[in-house]
């Protein structure tokens, strides 16, 4: 069975500071990993995905994530937070393309001016 | 592309009533997923279809929930009878799943916020 753990349900960062959101997964097979963002009252939007190509994945809005098999991690980072980054972020895993996603609990990001 | 379309966006109903949520996936996509989001349980997969056929409904809470996909461009999630604990945001997502050429990205609709009084 697959599972995803996001450390920290809430993260507060200052505008311009580094954003780091942690995600650890467990999977019996090489996984596909995703980060989605959800803005208030909206659906989920894909930020980036890892599908066994490059381990450093760049996404939209300046976000990137690094797949580390030895640590079973897929942490999301952004060098400089912007006010518009305030949202909830979800890490997700699936074992096969087009298959069902298992989501982490989400991390809500607050950006302080 | 219009994206995944869900209706209604908001639904308020009384306990015991039947509720039907609707979803139109992105044209050309062949897999469709229904998720439920609550504060307590987060995002949960309820059921998913591939080529209009239900593949995994293990997440459907109980017999009060049913889902259909009569054709490639339409799906419904029905709750009968509804209960207050069904209050949640229900999302529909679609993707193109075709083995090695799959896009593997699920595209989500805006969700339906259901409130059962």
Percent of chain A surpassing pLDDT 70: 94
Write the residue in A46, A97, A103 that is nearest to B97 by C-beta. A97
Q: Is the separation of the CB atoms in A13 and A99 below 8 Å? A: no
Asked if residue A41 has pLDDT above 90, the reply is no
Write the residue in A42, A102, A106 that is nearest to B110 by C-beta. A42
CB contacts, 8 Å: A103 with chain B: 42-43
Rounded Cα distance between A88 and A8, Å, is 12
Does A50 lie at the interface with B, CB-CB under 8 angstroms?
no
Nearest residue in A to B6, CA atom: A43
Phi, psi of B19 (to 5 degrees): -125, 135
What single DSSP character describes residue B97? Answer: -
Q: Is the separation of the CB atoms in A16 and A81 below 8 Å? A: yes
Give A23→chain B minimum CA distance, Å: 15
**How do residues B84-94 score in pLDDT, each as one tens digit?**
999 999 999 99
Asked if residue B105 has pLDDT above 90, the reply is no
Composition of chain B by helix, strand, coil, percent to 5: 5, 55, 40
Q: What value does the mean pLDDT take over residues B75-81?
A: 97
Q: What value does the mean pLDDT take over residues B45-57?
A: 92
For chain B, give the mean pLDDT. 91
Phi, psi of B3 (to 5 degrees): 80, -175
Write the residue in A43, A90, A97 that is nearest to B111 by C-beta. A43
Task: Check CB contact under 8 Å for A49 and B104.
Answer: yes
Does A63 lie at the interface with B, CB-CB under 8 angstroms?
no
Task: Check CB contact under 8 Å for B43 and A106.
Answer: yes
Q: What value does the mean pLDDT take over residues B24-29?
A: 94
- Best mean pLDDT range from A28-37, A91-100, B30-39: B30-39
Asked if residue B61 has pLDDT above 80, the reply is yes
Does B5 lie at the interface with A, CB-CB under 8 angstroms?
no
Percent of chain A surpassing pLDDT 90: 69
Asked if residue A94 has pLDDT above 90, the reply is no
For chain A, give the mean pLDDT. 90
């Amino acid at each position: 069975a697959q599972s995803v753990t996001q450390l920290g349900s809430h993260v507060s960062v200052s505008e311009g500071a580094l954003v780091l959101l942690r995600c650890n997964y467990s999977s019996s097979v090489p996984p596909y990993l995703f980060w989605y963002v959800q803005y208030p009252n909206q659906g989920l939007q894909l930020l980036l995905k890892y599908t066994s190509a490059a381990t450093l994945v760049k996404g939209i809005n300046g976000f990137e994530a690094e797949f580390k098999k030895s640590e079973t991690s897929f942490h999301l980072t952004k060098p400089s937070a912007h006010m518009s980054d305030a949202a909830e972020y979800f890490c997700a895993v699936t074992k096969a393309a087009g298959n069902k996603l298992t989501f982490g609990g989400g991390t809500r990001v607050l950006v302080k001016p | 592309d219009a994206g995944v379309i869900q209706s209604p966006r908001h639904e308020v109903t009384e306990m015991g009533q039947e509720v039907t949520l609707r979803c139109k996936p992105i044209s050309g996509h062949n897999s469709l997923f229904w998720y439920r989001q609550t504060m307590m349980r987060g995002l949960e997969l309820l059921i998913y279809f591939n080529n209009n056929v239900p593949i995994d409904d293990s997440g459907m809470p109980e017999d009060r929930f049913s889902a259909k996909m009569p054709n490639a461009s339409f799906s419904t999630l029905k709750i009968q009878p509804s209960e207050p604990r069904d209050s949640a945001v229900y999302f529909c997502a679609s993707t193109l799943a075709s083995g090695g050429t799959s896009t593997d990205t699920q595209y989500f609709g805006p969700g339906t916020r259901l409130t059962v009084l």
